[in-house]
Structure 1
Amino acid sequence: MIKYAVVGAGWISQQAFLPGAGQSTNSQVTAIVTGDPSKAKRLADFYGVGQIVGYEGYDAFLRDSDVDAVYIALPNHLHADYAIRAARAGKHILVEKPIATNEPDALAMIAAAREAGVFLMTAYRLHNEPGTVAVLEHIRNGAIGRPLFFQSVFSFQAAQGNHRLKAASWGGPLQDIGVYCVNAARHIFAEEPIEAMAMVHRPSDDPRFREVEASVAALLRFPSGGLAQFVASFGAADVDNYRVVGTAGDLELDPGFRFETATRLRLRRDGEIRETQFPQIDHFGAQVEYFSNCIEAGAPPEADGEEGLADLRALIAIEAAALTEQPQAITSHPRARHPTPDMVRLISPTDRRLVL
């Protein structure tokens, strides 16, 4: 059993990771690191977590505890600091995306994990979800010919006061949900984007968007000629899907990104339409089960630090393109690994959770 400390007891830990880890067969949360001890006590009592640690005691805890790994669910600008400290203490790291807020921090995280001989995994839960991997398998097997165009919308209405609306933590729809679109496109084309263009919208009459944009529209160009378009928004109705058009057919995953709903695939070719409804799984349980399998086997995870860095480079280029109104070049090394069926984990979902 791989023992985890949850670092940051906010909404995603409460809603998704803590209940998901409880559904896995090889992972156990044994500590919660947070700045809110009263909230942490209620969570610890509910999930049977034995230790609560304040942020000021993080380093001592890492030095003296028997946890194997940390799950970092802090605001984006804190990822690097807490990940590097965990690596230096010899703990494996599962860090939420985006991996960091800038390239030097991401590179420092990767270097710290490498030097310590621990695994750094970026939390791409969809890499362990059956519908997402089925899309990639269809494309690899030539089901739609050569992929040419990717189109996606990921949107919802963000609540006032959410830390994702804070500029100081590099919040905004691009970083929080646009990263899913970027990641999907990179694996669909099985190559790295080389250019980004973008524009944004920030309504003047909505107090939620005083610090960040409400919506971003982006276009990525890939070496093979593939084009990826997406819109990410914190100010629109709930939509999450993507479509891939190839030389001989097209496919659509709708829903495509959120963890609360099961994915559904529609494949169209030669006038025929085939639909597949995938089972609802616990995305976070699947993700932690996979990472724990990697730790147990001493096998590096597919969604490593370099995977997070590749998306980060695209996000930074998109942000710069929107700011300058000029195309921005992207330089990333090709990825040797992509999500594969052996990474899927069919972990049953649960309704047992405590959200404070």
Structure 2
Amino acid sequence: MPLHAEAQKPLRFAPVGLGDISDIFMRACAQSNKCKVTALVSGHAKEKAPKYEALYGISPKNVYNYENYDEIAHNPEIDAVYIGLPNSMHAEYTIRAAKAGKHVLCEKPMAISSKECQQMIDACRENNVKLMIAYRVHYDPMWQQIRKLARSGAIGEIQGFQGGFYGIKMHGWRLNRKLAGGGSLLDLGIYPLNAIRWFTGEEPDHFAAQVATKIPGPRFTEVEESIEFNMRFPSGILASSGSSYGENGPAYLSVDGTHGNLWVEPAFYYDGLKYHGTTIHGPVSGISPGKQPYQFVYEADHFADCVRYNRTPATPGEEGLKDMLAMEAIYRAAGAPIA
């Protein structure tokens, strides 16, 4: 497909799956000058599509279901797809989009296995389309500021991390192993895991982990409720983190250095980001003024620029693959099943 070279022309998206995350993404596109929603893909198109057709002026001819999805190849009003489906469907619909010649912005986790991640990367490369994983934290200006501060030497040499994402009581497909691929690690634990990897610029080489399910009943018969894991990096940096669908706890990241510390809390929600800490220059703090869906706007705009100007995304498929390899290693360390 030709590059979207006209700077003033928005990148035209077809969200695939019309759940909550796609709703947020579509609102972000409506706030962007670089992106526009021009088509829809849903397994329940008759029930869900009319709302978004009216909101965003989408023609009924641009509404697809999962059976006729491949026909997007013949629609010049679609440049890219946004994959907001359950985790186990990411690989199939990314690969089908690539074969249709459409660029792909896929939600995290990228897939439910490293094998699937590699298949997605290969398909997009073979069909000359962009693949970006939707790590919205990477595109938040305050997160970028915190990372720069941590890596600048302002807290000395980084020694370790503590992090976690607890207390989101998920239901529905996220508790179904076939659809989710795993429990709280793939949905919540991936946030501190990815942030720690992003801050260090390294890949962990040693893991220890435990999984547990404390809530009785049928809710967690297929996926773990809670997980705690430790990682060691080649430089000697140590990190401990965890996630839970049951605990009522924080979403935070602590970065510990030889001469200071940075604490981010709340860290991984759609807005409300705050941080504070001590550095060799004195105390620091910040409160993000951004409101949902601002992170999604930055994310979508970055992807649009990558397509327009033939750039590699800051969070390409390879980034999603590295997280998946780490999560597989965490599950192995815990003796837990891997999708």
Would you call these one fold, judging by a TM-score over 0.5? yes
**Contact in 2 for aligned 1:154/1:241 (Cα 8 Å):** yes
Greater shift, 58-67 or 70-79, is seen at: 58-67
Match of 1:119 in 2: 130
**CA positional deviation for 1:314:** 0.4
Match of 1:348 in 2: none
Structure-1 separation of matches of 2:182 and 2:336: 19
**Does 2:147 align with 1:136?**
yes
Match of 1:44 in 2: 53
**Contact in 2 for aligned 1:76/1:171 (Cα 8 Å):** no
2:72 is aligned with what amino acid?
A: F
**CA positional deviation for 1:207:** 3.2
Match of 1:181 in 2: 192
**Does 2:287 align with 1:277?**
yes
Match of 1:5 in 2: 14
Match of 1:199 in 2: 210
Map 1:1-356 to 2 at 5 A. 1-14=10-23, 16-37=24-45, 38-50=47-59, 51-160=62-171, 162-169=172-179, 170-203=181-214, 205-237=216-248, 239-259=250-270, 261-269=271-279, 272-281=282-291, 282-323=294-335
**Contact in 1 for aligned 2:160/2:257 (Cα 8 Å):** yes
Q: 1:44 to 1:206 in 2, by over 3 A?
A: farther
- Provide Cα deviations, 1:16-72, integer angstroms capped at 9, x if missing partner: 111111111110011110011211212222232222111111001233343111000
**CA positional deviation for 1:140:** 2.3
Q: 1:270 to 1:284 in 2, by over 3 A?
A: closer
**CA positional deviation for 1:273:** 2.3
- Provide Cα deviations, 1:297-338, integer angstroms capped at 9, x if missing partner: 11111100101101010011111111169xxxxxxxxxxxxx
| SS state at 1:207 partner | coil
Structure-2 separation of matches of 1:159 and 1:224: 36
**CA positional deviation for 1:206:** 4.0
| SS state at 2:67 partner | helix
**Contact in 1 for aligned 2:31/2:297 (Cα 8 Å):** yes
Structure-1 separation of matches of 2:138 and 2:187: 17
Match of 1:350 in 2: none
- Provide Cα deviations, 1:168-225, integer angstroms capped at 9, x if missing partner: 1214110001111111011111111111111011125143212111111011110001
**Contact in 2 for aligned 1:221/1:227 (Cα 8 Å):** yes
| SS state at 1:237 partner | coil
Q: What TM-score does the superposition give when structure 2 sets the normalisation length? A: 0.91
Match of 2:6 in 1: none
- Provide Cα deviations, 1:151-184, integer angstroms capped at 9, x if missing partner: 0121123243x21111112141100011111110
1:287 is aligned with what amino acid?
A: E
Name structure 1 gaps, 5 residues minimum: 326-356
2:18 is aligned with what amino acid?
A: A
Q: 1:44 to 1:239 in 2, by over 3 A?
A: farther
Computed over aligned residues only, the root mean square deviation of the Cα atoms, in angstroms, reads 1.7
**CA positional deviation for 1:76:** 0.9
4+ residue segments displaced more than 4 Å: none
Q: 1:105 to 1:324 in 2, by over 3 A?
A: closer
Structure-2 separation of matches of 1:171 and 1:66: 36
Greater shift, 265-274 or 122-131, is seen at: 265-274
Q: 1:269 to 1:61 in 2, by over 3 A?
A: closer
Q: Aligned residues: percent identity?
A: 38
Match of 1:328 in 2: none
Structure-1 separation of matches of 2:296 and 2:215: 36
Count of matched residue positions in the alignment of Structure 1 and Structure 2: 322
Structure-1 separation of matches of 2:95 and 2:221: 32
**Contact in 2 for aligned 1:163/1:171 (Cα 8 Å):** no
Q: 1:19 to 1:190 in 2, by over 3 A?
A: same
**Contact in 1 for aligned 2:154/2:281 (Cα 8 Å):** no
Q: 1:64 to 1:48 in 2, by over 3 A?
A: closer
Match of 1:337 in 2: none
1:303 is aligned with what amino acid?
A: T
Structure-1 separation of matches of 2:56 and 2:77: 19
2:51 is aligned with what amino acid?
A: R
